[in-house]
Amino acid sequence: MKVVLFCGGYGMRMRNDTGDAIPKPMQMVGPRPLIWHVMRYYAHYGHKDFVLCLGYGAAHIKNFFLTYQESVSNDFVIHGGKVELLQSDISDWTITFVDTGVESPIGERLRRVRGHLEGERYFLANYSDVLTDAPLDEMIEKVQASGAAASMMIVPPNSSFHCVDVNSAGEVKNITPATKLPIWLNGGYFVLTQEIFEHLTPGADLVDDACGALAEQGKLFGYQHHGFWKPADTFKERAELDSGYQKGDRPWAVWESRSA
C-alpha cells in the first residue's frame, strides 16, 4: 500500500524565537528525524511507496533525502577506499515529493495528492510526528474485515493531567486522572479507501469533515491500541523520545526487534 505522510504544517509548538524553519517531522530522535522513524516503521511491514505532502519547511525534507547518508544508521566496511554498506535503509523505497501548500489543512493536502493514489483501493496515512509499536499488519486486516471506508488508530489518553468534577459553587466532587477516563484519542495512523475523497471538499479537514461524515454513516472503524504510542508535538515530548532512543528504550523501532 502507498503511504501518505502529512509533513507540511507549521508545528508551532515545536518552534522557537530564533526563526528556525525546521519543520516538526525533521526534529531529531537519535541520529534520524521523526519522519524517518515513521517511514522505517511502515517499511518494516512492507509498505515502501511514500507520498510526502510538503508545505512549510519543504526544503529541509527534500534536502535530507537528496543528500541521504546511509552510513548514519547502518554498519559499513571501507575497503580500498570504497564504502561497502552492510545494510541499507531506503534503497528500495519510492518517495514522491508533492508541494501541497503552506496553509493547507490536512484534508486539502490529501486532496492534492489524489492523483498519486490512483488504483489504490486501500492506502495508509500518517501525521509524521507520532511513534507507535502497533502491529500494522493486524490493523490493516481488521479494517479490511470490517468493511469500513476509513479507519483511525485510537489510543487511551496518556496525559499526566487530572480531570476535576466541580459544581456551580466551586465544590470539587471528584478528581480523576485523564488516563482513567473512558475515552479514546485519535492516534494519527489511518487506513483509508478512495471513498474518503467523496467527503473532502476544497479546504476540508480529514478528521473533522471526512472522518466525521463517515462516522455518522457507520463507515469509520477505530482500531484500539493499548501499547506504546507517543506524539512529538512539543519539544518536551521530542526530547523524551530522543532520551529513550539513546538509552535503548525505543519500542517503536519494531524493525530492530525483528532483526534481533
The predicted-structure confidence for 181-216, as pLDDT tens digits, reads as follows 778 999 999 999 999 999 999 999 999 999 999 999
Does 253 score more than 60 pLDDT?
yes
Q: Predicted confidence band at 88 (pLDDT cuts at 50, 70, 90)?
A: confident
Q: Is residue 144 included in any domain, yes or no?
A: yes
Q: What is the pLDDT of residue 79?
A: 85
d(CA 21, CA 119): 36
Q: Would you say 39 and 50 are in contact if contact means Cβ atoms under 8 Å apart? A: yes
User: Whose CA is closest to 189, among 234, 154, 137, 226?
Assistant: 154
d(CA 188, CA 192): 12
d(CA 1, CA 52): 14
Q: What is the pLDDT of residue 89?
A: 83
Q: What phi and psi, each to the nearest 5 degrees, are found at residue 194?
A: -65, -20
Q: Say if residue 209 is exposed, middle or buried (CB neighbours under 10 Å; 0-12, 13-18, 19+).
A: middle
d(CA 20, CA 42): 29
Does 47 score more than 60 pLDDT?
yes
Q: What is the pLDDT of residue 233?
A: 86
Q: What phi and psi, each to the nearest 5 degrees, are found at residue 176?
A: -130, 130
Q: Say if residue 182 is exposed, middle or buried (CB neighbours under 10 Å; 0-12, 13-18, 19+).
A: exposed
Does 260 score more than 60 pLDDT?
no
Q: What is the pLDDT of residue 11?
A: 57
Maximum Cα interatomic distance, the chain, rounded to a whole number of Å: 80
Q: What is the pLDDT of residue 206?
A: 97
The grid cell for 233 is: 508535538
Q: Is residue 159 included in any domain, yes or no?
A: no
The grid cell for 88 is: 541499507
Q: Is residue 31 included in any domain, yes or no?
A: yes
Q: Is residue 174 included in any domain, yes or no?
A: no
Does 15 score more than 80 pLDDT?
no
Q: What is the CATH number of the domain that holds 243?
A: 3.90.550.10
Q: Predicted confidence band at 76 (pLDDT cuts at 50, 70, 90)?
A: confident
Amino acid in position 251? P
Q: What is the pLDDT of residue 80?
A: 83
Average pLDDT, the chain: 90
Contacts within 8 Å (CB) and 24+ apart, 206-210: 206/105, 206/106, 206/107, 206/110, 206/125, 207/106, 207/152, 209/107, 210/107, 210/150
Q: Is residue 38 included in any domain, yes or no?
A: yes
The pLDDT tens digits of the residues spanning 154-182 come to 999 877 678 888 888 888 988 887 777 77
Q: Is residue 27 included in any domain, yes or no?
A: yes
Q: Is residue 173 included in any domain, yes or no?
A: no
- The winner for highest mean pLDDT among 78-82, 167-171, 225-229 is 225-229
Section 123-141 average pLDDT: 97
Q: Give me the domain span that covers residue 123.
A: 2-74+83-154+182-259
This prediction's pTM: 0.88
Q: Is residue 225 included in any domain, yes or no?
A: yes
In the chain, how many domains are there? 1
